[in-house]
């Protein structure tokens, strides 16, 4: 098996999606959570264990798989098996007349992502990021933080989650929403929940909140620049794209002084618009030198967003970008395999871990 075989395979599946013949007829036996969204997490069976991949169903360009047993599928040409995780029994529960799947959505690796607030200031003037639909997320139906806390307790007692991440829409305040996250974390800790926590926020000058989060045992932080090219940032994120790269650098610098090594991340999304040029290379160098891990993934535009589709990137470019990134991470002593919580720990969105292991 050639070097980077599974890294490339993950990129291939992330970019093209999968095509399972007559999948609709399998829904009742498969019992998959949230299959109606068309997005799905699968596991590639590999000699090194299962590799989780967040992808989508596409009956035209998707990699074809045939059903061999209940939730196991096979591609003859590639000689690989994938499995689709079945709905865990915890979703049979209800909290206050609401099905649990309307309140929480447990992801791979026992990860529970939560939203402190689904309000984002940028939606107000149609300045929202063109791939985002935070206002329609499943958990937006349950605005009650208390219900979410009850759900966390239930999922913890049932051993269904081991770490959580908390995000929020951007607020038109100096802290850009970080204070709401802080309050959510405070409430979780007051309820005696000791799970590992990651947070996702926008860069802010109110960095005093970071120390308080660290004191409450928040381990991991993501501040997502999303795109490294300024023109693409402005084009796809009319609101958030106006935040300068330098503001991110200032914020990351503060994070580095507070959080541990290999616990600071920034999402880098890749689509057909992106070019792997010198500017992108320089920014990866700057970020990794500072102590930030660029977590590269495919731009999956959400269904109810302005774009509403997957803008499939060029796989060769993504491959080159991942290799370059993995090399810079190693050079700067950063290790994404050490991520403690949140999406970086979940790792289904990015092939970063696979490239890092194989380089």
Q: Which residues bind ligand SF4 (CB under 6 A)?
A: 120, 122, 128-129, 132, 134, 169-170, 237, 240
From CA 18, how far away is CA 310, in angstroms rounded? 13
User: Looking at beta carbons only, is 7 or 224 nearer to ligand SF4?
Assistant: 224
Give the shortest CB-320-to-ligand SF4 separation in angstroms: 26
User: Looking at beta carbons only, is 118 or 220 nearer to ligand SF4?
Assistant: 118
Give the shortest CB-346-to-ligand SF4 separation in angstroms: 18
Q: Using only C-alpha atoms, what is the Rg of the chain? A: 20
User: Looking at beta carbons only, is 71 or 167 nearer to ligand SF4?
Assistant: 167
| Helix axes 278-290 and 245-258, enclosed angle (nearest 10) | 20
Give the shortest CB-193-to-ligand SF4 separation in angstroms: 25
User: Looking at beta carbons only, is 5 or 121 nearer to ligand SF4?
Assistant: 121
Give the shortest CB-120-to-ligand SF4 separation in angstroms: 3
User: Looking at beta carbons only, is 124 or 330 nearer to ligand SF4?
Assistant: 124
Give the shortest CB-237-to-ligand SF4 separation in angstroms: 6
18 contacts 62 by C-beta, under 8 angstroms:
yes
Give the shortest CB-129-to-ligand SF4 separation in angstroms: 3
User: Looking at beta carbons only, is 128 or 328 nearer to ligand SF4?
Assistant: 128
Question: What would the two tokens of residue 347 be?
Answer: 């790792």
Give the shortest CB-245-to-ligand SF4 separation in angstroms: 16
User: Looking at beta carbons only, is 21 or 234 nearer to ligand SF4?
Assistant: 234
What is the number of other CB atoms lying within 10 angstroms of the CB of residue 309? 13
């Amino acid at each position: 098996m050639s070097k980077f075989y599974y890294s490339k395979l993950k990129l291939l599946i992330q970019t093209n999606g999968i095509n399972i013949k007559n999948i609709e007829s399998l829904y009742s036996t498969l019992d998959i959570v949230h299959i109606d969204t068309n997005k799905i997490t699968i596991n590639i069976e590999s000699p090194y264990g299962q590799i989780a991949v967040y992808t989508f169903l596409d009956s035209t360009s998707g990699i074809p798989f045939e059903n061999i047993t209940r939730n196991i599928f096979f591609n003859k040409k590639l000689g690989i098996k994938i499995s689709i995780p079945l709905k865990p029994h915890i979703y049979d529960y209800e909290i206050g007349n609401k099905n649990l799947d309307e309140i929480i959505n447990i992801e791979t690796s026992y990860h529970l992502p939560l939203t402190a607030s689904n309000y984002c200031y940028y939606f107000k003037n149609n300045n929202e990021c063109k791939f985002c639909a935070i206002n329609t997320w499943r958990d937006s139906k349950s605005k009650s933080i208390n219900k979410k806390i009850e759900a966390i307790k239930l999922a913890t007692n049932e051993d269904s989650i081991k770490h959580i991440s908390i995000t929020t829409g951007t607020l038109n305040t100096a802290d850009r929403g970080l204070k709401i996250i802080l309050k959510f974390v405070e409430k979780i800790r007051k309820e005696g929940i000791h799970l590992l926590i990651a947070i996702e926020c926008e860069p802010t000058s109110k960095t005093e909140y970071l120390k308080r989060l660290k004191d409450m045992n928040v381990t991991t932080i993501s501040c997502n620049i999303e795109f490294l090219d300024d023109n693409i940032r402005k084009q796809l994120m009319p609101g958030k794209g106006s935040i300068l790269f330098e503001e991110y650098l200032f914020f990351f610098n503060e994070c580095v002084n507070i959080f541990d090594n290999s616990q600071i991340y920034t999402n880098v999304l890749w689509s057909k618009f992106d070019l792997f040029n010198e500017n992108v290379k320089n920014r990866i160098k700057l970020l990794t030198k500072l102590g930030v891990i660029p977590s590269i993934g495919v731009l999956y535009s959400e269904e109810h967003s302005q774009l509403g589709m997957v803008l499939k990137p060029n796989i060769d470019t993504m491959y080159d970008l991942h290799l370059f990134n993995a090399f810079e991470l190693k050079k700067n002593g950063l290790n994404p395999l050490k991520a403690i919580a949140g999406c970086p720990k979940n790792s289904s969105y990015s092939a970063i871990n696979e490239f890092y292991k194989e380089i």
